[in-house]
Structure 1
Amino acid sequence: MSTPSTPAAPEKLSRRKQFAQTYRMAHKTDRALPWWILGTFVVGAAVGFTILWLLPGSGALSLVLSIVSALLLGLLGALIVFGRRAQRAAYSQMEGQPGAAAAALQMLRRGWKVDPVVGFTKQQDVVHRVVGPPGIILVGEGNSPSRLKNLMLTERRKHERVVADAPIHEVVCGNGEGQVPLTKLVRHVTKLGKGVKPAEMTDILNRLKALDANRSNIPLPKGPMPTSMKGMRGNMRGR
């Protein structure tokens, strides 16, 4: 009896397949997506063609440049709209699911290290860790603010024992008071400032290896999450 196939990891997919996977995921939620893409391409192409065509010059060269400009501007506009609507669709699908913050944090670009679920409770309250220019960011998500607060305090103390000289930030992902909504999580994290230099970040990561070596294997909480978030991160760099 054959076993069901599993989706390939985003890193192993070609850019074309990443786009296709992201499109299928986004189209499940955003049924108007193809019309937005097509409309943006047509408008962008029309603007690009008009601008080049009105510039001084005539003949075949001017026509060729106008057509090339139309295609490039239309394609750029379509990619930007696709990226933004795909991101919105992904957040919509992840909202309220266990581990949603970890999936959203995969949108961070190079220079950031994301470790999902460095701490958890049996009730699926979890703490994720991000190491980047601001230092160490502990990102919590869960159903009980008091339980999550205790969990984050425990994780903060563990990290302070290993990297006492590194800035440690705490962020709670959610829609409650003092929490950061899922759609704004990545932007919030990137705006925490620059507390460490690249060389210091390398030292922090090396120290954290000792802390992580003493942890048991922690599975990511189960729940339906988009599998193409890392691929989407690359697709949307034109935003």
Structure 2
Amino acid sequence: MAKSTDSANSNADETKRSLFSRKPKAVKSKKPGRLKQMVDIFKMTRRHDPMVTWLMLGAFLGLILVAMVVTLLVSPGNWITGLLLGIPLGLLAALLIMSRRAERAAYSQIEGKAGAAGAALSSLRKGWIFDEQPASVNPRTQDVVFRAIGKPGIVLVTEGPSNRVKGLVDAERRRLNRILPNVTVTVIETGKAEGQVPIAKLTKKMGKLKGELTKVEVSAVNKRISSMGNKLPIPKGIDPYKARPDRKASRGR
């Protein structure tokens, strides 16, 4: 009887220890802080654009000088106020310059690579519907046609020489005209050849297109196209995810 009591007590003690013992905390993977992200972005930008250092420094010191001069004109002798106003303004100007240059450097890294047009389209602002899979592909040459839908209608963005992508564009345009005859179809060729739009200027070019559809109509057009079930395999070497420029990172977010 005594042995059974001792055994029960020992089991109870073990149970208490297991209940109240602290479990080792799971090690959380730390994400890089904002300051480290900014430093990494600056290093990446400087590798492709050595002038960014001097431009940022010039903007920073220039804004401080302007702020101090204006403050001294308004309140002579009060240079400290001008300095306190100029430092944050100078930092803001320097960060804006770095953001623009970082975005340009990011696009320069994917320029000419397969899937670059799709990567640029992935950074479109709200209001556009973009399918990451190409609408039309030539597996042999890896020429592609991407499709975006927005208020200007349907925009076909090509990647490849003009003479080679013409057949892909014509076939896609005929297919769209059969189901959406009243929707405008605009073609934009990307590249560095004459008449083509550089990757870095693609989204800006699309932003200048005249709006013709409402938000509801854009959604209806997208549903109509989706009903066709156009799902094409992406050829080897075309991966919009790998070529995608990180715009949030270029802004330091």
Pairwise same-fold verdict (TM > 0.5): yes
Residue pairs, 1:103-118, within 5 angstroms: 103-116=119-132, 117-118=134-135
Amino acid at match of 2:160: G
Q: Is contact 1:48–1:74 with CA below 8 Å preserved after alignment?
A: no
Q: 1:210 aligns with which of 227, 235, 239?
A: 227
Partners of 1:223 and 1:109 in 2: CA distance: 17
Q: Which has the larger radius of gyration?
A: 2
Aligned to 2:13: none
Q: 2:99 aligns with which of 74, 77, 83?
A: 83
Q: From the superposition, tell whether residues 82 and 57 of structure 1 become closer, same or farther in structure 2 (CA, over 3 Å).
A: same
Amino acid at match of 2:67: G
State percent identity of aligned pairs: 34
Larger relative contact order (Cα-Cα within 8 Å, sequence gap ≥ 6): 1
Q: What TM-score do the two structures reach when normalised by structure 1?
A: 0.76
Partners of 1:184 and 1:172 in 2: CA distance: 11
Q: From the superposition, tell whether residues 146 and 195 of structure 1 become closer, same or farther in structure 2 (CA, over 3 Å).
A: same
Q: 1:164 aligns with which of 153, 178, 181?
A: 181
Q: From the superposition, tell whether residues 193 and 230 of structure 1 become closer, same or farther in structure 2 (CA, over 3 Å).
A: same
- 1:131 match: secondary structure: strand
Partners of 1:52 and 1:226 in 2: CA distance: 47
Q: Is contact 2:119–2:245 with CA below 8 Å preserved after alignment?
A: no
Q: CA deviation at 1:72?
A: 2.7
Q: Is contact 1:126–1:148 with CA below 8 Å preserved after alignment?
A: yes
How much is the aligned-residue C-alpha RMSD, in angstroms? 3.1
Q: Is contact 1:26–1:86 with CA below 8 Å preserved after alignment?
A: yes
Say how many residue pairs are matched: 220
Q: Deviations over 1:2-61 (max 9, x none)?
A: xxxxxxxxxx988666645543432331233233223321222222233234324876xx
- 1:110 match: secondary structure: coil
Residue pairs, 1:15-26, within 5 angstroms: 19-20=38-39, 22-26=41-45
Unaligned segments of structure 2, at least 5 residues: 1-30
Residue pairs, 1:48-63, within 5 angstroms: 48-56=67-75, 63=80
Q: 1:128 aligns with which of 146, 163, 171?
A: 146
